[in-house]
Amino acid sequence: MLLAPSKKALVPFVSVANMMRLVHHVGVEIFLKELTDAIEADFARWPEFDKTPRLGSHSHDGVIELMPTSDGQIYSFKYVNGHPKNMAQGLQTVTAFGLLADVATGYPVLQTEMTVLTALRTAATSAMAARHLAPKSSRTMAIIGNGAQCEFQALAMRAVLGIESVRLFDIDPKATEKALRNLAGSGLETVACTSAQAAIEGADIITTCTADKAFATILTDNMVGSGVHINAIGGDCPGKTELHPDILKRADTFVEYPPQTWIEGEIQQMPKDYPITELWRVVTGETEGRRDPRQITLFDSVGFAIEDFSALRYVREKIRDTQFFEELDMIADPDDPRDLFGMLSRAAG
């Protein structure tokens, strides 16, 4: 068996099918709740992480990004693309995969699909932020933009905050119909609305998750009443925003990693002295989150590498002692590490 790789050379790989099996094995809402806690635990030790803005390769139709981070013990990165025009060809706007590696040796220890996992971690991050920023008694949320992220957001807010009712709006009624169908039987009351204005009526939490790669105004100032929490997750590249700047002027804005949010988030529209708070400081208790029932809070979420780190770490724990992974022969492992050529030669036999 000259070609049989040794144990050290094998990297556990979670395919899309296995990720879905794992999610159902754990239960979608439990998965979202545990993932929310995993992300919160890593936000609570934010200073321990190496942080860098993601490395993007921009092209006419979209962007391909690498998002690395490390806590000194474990390194992670995610490969993710964003191609809004993909949908018209029947392709995903966002696809992703991720990797964990051992910092001490540089050896990969996990590779997973992250298209499904990113949807889950984005929703879990929103829920984690809302736990600190939304009104305590939140029961109703609005979701503007009923695409791939929509149902994950609704279920995470239900699992973590006890949201009971979801008001849905999309410029394409078919997207809303899809969300209604998928959320039937979830225990959530769902209300299809004919405008963004109608959707946010009575909502404690307003989530915007639209996908167009352009400056857009999904919400204007006159639409937003006091006391709400806005969860703006659709903005994730330069030139892409969802909120009118007047809303930001009235809101207290919380962000993940400022150097990235200034480039990609809603705050790219604001002057550089616009006050922002890093969410991790709220998680550690260093700074207050919501302090007033009339306050408008805004989580200007663009997604950060530490959230992927948390998700990968969580999946690594959950697949232990399960069948939900394969092993990839990804690392050459000669008996004598200097004898890579000898390994190659012997493989000729």
Restricted to residues 302-321, the positions that interact with its own copies (CB under 8 A) are none
The window from 77-85, 199-207, 225-233, 279-287 that contacts its own copies (CB under 8 A) reads 77-85
Q: Which residue has the tokens 């709400």?
A: 228
Q: Which is nearer to its own copies, 72 or 202 (CB)?
A: 72
Instruction: Count residues binding its own copies (CB under 8 A).
Output: 85
Q: Is the dihedral of CA 121, 127, 128, 130 positive or negative?
A: positive
- 10 contacts 329 by C-beta, under 8 angstroms: yes
**210 binds its own copies per the rule CB under 8 A:** no
Nearer Cβ to its own copies (189/288): 189
In angstroms, the CA 90 to CA 72 distance is: 40
Of 96-125, binders to its own copies (CB under 8 A) are 97, 99, 101, 103-108, 113, 115-116, 119
Could you say whether residue 7 binds its own copies (CB under 8 A)?
A: no
Measured on CA atoms in the order 228, 233, 237, 239, is the torsion positive or negative?
A: negative
Residue 294 interacting with its own copies (CB under 8 A):
no
**53's tokens:** 């803005």
Cβ-based nearer residue to its own copies, 59 or 195 = 59
Which CB sits closer to its own copies, 93 or 284?
93
Taking the alpha carbons of 79, 84, 90, 92 in that order, is the dihedral positive or negative? Answer: positive
Cβ proximity of 75 and 52 under 8 Å? no
Q: Out of 227, 238, 245, 334, which residue is the one contacting its own copies (CB under 8 A)?
A: 334
Say how many Å lie between the first and final Cα of the chain, rounded: 10
Catalytic site includes residue 236:
yes
Cα separation, 76 vs 343, in Å, equals 29
Question: In the window 15-44, what residues touch its own copies (CB under 8 A)?
Answer: 15-17, 20-21, 23-24, 28
Query: Is 171 near its own copies (CB under 8 A)?
Result: no
Instruction: Tell me the catalytic residues.
Output: 236
